Amino acid sequence: MRTDADVVIVGAGPCGLTLANILGLQGVRTLVLEERDTLIDYPRGVGLDDEALRTFQSIGLVDKILPHAVPNQILRFFDAKRRLLAEMAPPDARFGWPKRNGFVQPLVDAELYAGLDRFDHVEVRWGHRMQNCVEDAEGVTVEFSTGQPPVRTRFVVGCDGGRSTTRRLMGVSFDGTTSSTRWLVVDVANDPLGHPNSEVGADPARPYVSIAIAHGIRRFEFMIFADESDEAASDPAFVRRMLAQRVPYPDKVEIIRHRVYTHHSRIAGAFRKGRLLLAGDAAHLMPVWQGQGYNSCIRDAANLGWKLAMVVKGQADDALLDTYDVERRKHARAMIDLSTLVGRVVSPTNRRIAALRDKVIHAANIVPSLKRYILEMRFKPMPRYQQGVVVHDEHRAANSPTGTLFIQPRVDTRDRQNVLLDDVLGTGFAVLCWSNNLRAVLGEDAFALWRSLGARFVEARPMTQLHWTGHDDPDVVVVGDREGALKKWFDVYTDSVLFLRPDRCIAGACIAQRAPEMSASIVKVLRLVQGGGTGSHGDTGAVLHVAQPAAESSGTVAGTP
């Protein structure tokens, strides 16, 4: 079939641009369509988490993005008397990056866009507003309202926001609620406060938010009451009155822009319908309270990108794409619910309810375990896939790490020191074991199959054994456990062989003797096709077996009984 692109992405926002970079790195012909003439130039998201930075690391752009971020940002919640209710200052960086980071979205989005210049097979077309998609057995024809010739593609991914045209054309519902409460957001330059952190004022008189972004930009947000119209809230005098509650000289504040907005808690009825898929705000919207809207978009791209690439390159059946909805829906729903709950806790305007909330939270702070729970953000739902491209070892159902993200400590190799683990694992699949002969553990057939998919093989060792050559294999990279984090991880879970997906989720974990059968089970849920594609090593010697229905393995795939 002649196509203009293998994948068309509708929308050049953070989700679409990240997905385009992921596909670009995989050699997938990608076309990004955007109805605007340029990138949006005003800040929307203001917080990056460790998972998003890890994804930006995987696409080779994190060093370009970090200059626009404020790492290790503390978030403090205050009551009406400015007594500290709670503080979030998570200390660990188990995934290689700080958990909380303020950032300037337009500048980060610009770096994502500039990253596409690396790929001759990725194109962005501005001023293209999709009007219709006509799907047939071989692909999709994308038609435009602005008179441009139609585009032919194999798959369309709608990253076109909460008012998604793609979602409408799919005929998919957008279930949930829209809050009746409105907020005035004001972005200012030359930060009049100047400190690097952020705060939420849970003041029933007027709840507010103050967030340090980066480069001297600060965001203020103020709740708008029912008797205050959007027009009144947009009046410059009203904006200055709001700022006067937080800064001594509001008339001297340099306002970049201000807007009135509402909070949405919505999720699409389906993330996939045939050759059309949804990602980012087109798939889900959530209140801003946990700063997870932007980060959830990046998670979507990280989950979907490698699966699309495998299908397009003929390595996997397109049933693999069903696992995107299976895996992302539950976590997106959990983030929506958490953000909605935090908003309800923070923003009551009834003084009695607010006073009761304050007493409960102050009491909880007396209990060290509860205080750590909040301080370290342990309440944040982490991805944990029970279904999808995962195989849970029936011999170790309890305390299994399968379906979770693997840690990213710093390691040494024989020619590099103090590097992040993902930089050793690469951007594709990886098989990692603790201090063992990985080729012997897997067996030649399984080793060759994973090698044909471009997988990296990594043997982790104590630093004392880094330069021992007894297990040397030209296809296995030896890393030294520089900080002891890998040993601690294996101490907890006891599994010694891990099959890692490109998004660094653990697809399967087992003891060494069960590695061959675990490998075979994961191959089944990957829906690999006979002779489909090659990996980065270029091998074609290993035959890829056609996946059997998931019910025949210990994993599950959407759409199978």
Binding site per annotation, positions = 6-35, 271-281
* Edge-to-edge order in the sheet of strand 218-224: 84-88, 75-78, 198-201, 208-212, 218-224, 174-189, 254-268, 284-285
Contact of 100 with 90, CB cutoff 8 Å:
yes
Amino acid at 4: D
| Non-local CB neighbours of 13 within 8 Å, separated by 6+ positions | 40, 109, 159, 160, 161, 280, 281, 297
Six-digit token pair at 415? 């020619």
Amino acid at 554: S
| Non-local CB neighbours of 488 within 8 Å, separated by 6+ positions | none
What is the spatial distance between Cα 184 and Cα 18, in angstroms, rounded to a whole number? 29
What dihedral do alpha carbons 187, 190, 193, 194 form, nearest 10°? 120
DSSP lists the bridge partners of residue 330 as none
Six-digit token pair at 429? 């699949």
Helices (H), 132-277: 165-170, 230-233, 236-243
Q: What are phi and psi of 331, to 5 degrees?
A: -70, -40
Q: How many C-beta atoms surround the C-beta of residue 120 within 10 A?
A: 8
What is residue 472's DSSP assignment?
-
* Edge-to-edge order in the sheet of strand 47-48: 47-48, 101-103, 69-71
**CA angle in degrees (0–180, nearest 5) for 127-130-133:** 155
What is the spatial distance between Cα 208 and Cα 49, in angstroms, rounded to a whole number? 22
Amino acid at 3: T
Q: What are phi and psi of 294, to 5 degrees?
A: -65, -45
CA distances from 442 to 12, 97, 381, 420, 510 (A): 42, 32, 33, 25, 11
As a whole number of Å, the end-to-end CA separation of the chain is 32
Q: What are phi and psi of 398, to 5 degrees?
A: -85, 140
Which residues does the annotation place in the binding site for FAD?
6-35, 271-281
